[in-house]
Amino acid sequence: ERPGIAACFNDCDGKPLAIQFQPRFWKQAIEVLGFFESLQKEGLDDLGVAFESEDKKNQILDHLGRLFATNTRDHWLAILRDAGMVCAPVNTLLEAADDPNIVENNYVQEILHPRLGKNIKIHGSPWKFSETPSNPGVAPSLGEHNEEILNSLGYDDGAIAELQDKEVI
């Protein structure tokens, strides 16, 4: 079987969605989306033409782009998911942080930021280990551990103060 086409398309609001069109599901996909007649009029209803030339592939992608721009991303995703097609929204960081699947899997976590004194959202670990759970935290600020590290290297407080005065650290 030939490979399919994976692409992103913008909806009427400019929100992107990603979709994988497999040759064996192509006709079903364009029918459930309501795209069949429009693609057929242009001679683009056979996904095989996409592999005849780069120009044909671009014609299909351009035409699909215009069709997906006629409605919302949620509309298209609902149709595609109901038909069992491979598709997903391409979320902004804010959209991803509120996505139910991302929240449920702790891909975004809230932690108390020690310097801000309030909770912030950070990315969690996609890997879950029962013996070694991840412990996300805030990165140190610039120079936060200078004194500790320099002391461990044998610098005394006077030498560290001199480096600070000279703005070396």
Which CATH class, in words, describes the domain spanning 5-90? alpha beta
Helix or strand or coil: residue 75?
A: helix
Polymer length of the chain: 169
pLDDT of residue 1: 63
- Give, in order, the Cα–Cα distances in Å from 60 to each of 14, 82, 127: 19, 23, 38
Q: 43 exposed, middle or buried (CB, 10 Å; 0-12, 13-18, 19+)?
A: exposed
pLDDT of residue 62: 97
Domain boundaries, the chain: 5-90, 92-138, 140-169
Percent of the chain scoring above 70 in pLDDT: 99
Count Cβ neighbours within 10 Å for each residue of 26-35 and write b for 16 or more, e otherwise. beebbebbeb
- Residue 85 near residue 7, CB atoms below 8 Å: no
* 82-131 residue pLDDT tens: 999 999 999 998 888 888 888 888 888 889 999 899 999 888 888 888 89
Kindly tell me if the per-residue pLDDT of 46 is higher than 80.
Answer: yes
Average pLDDT of the chain is: 91
pLDDT of residue 129: 86
pLDDT of residue 96: 86
> How remote is the C-alpha of 102 from its chain's centroid?
11
Kindly tell me if the per-residue pLDDT of 53 is higher than 90.
Answer: no
Give the closest residue to 26 by CA, choosing from 42, 4, 9. 4
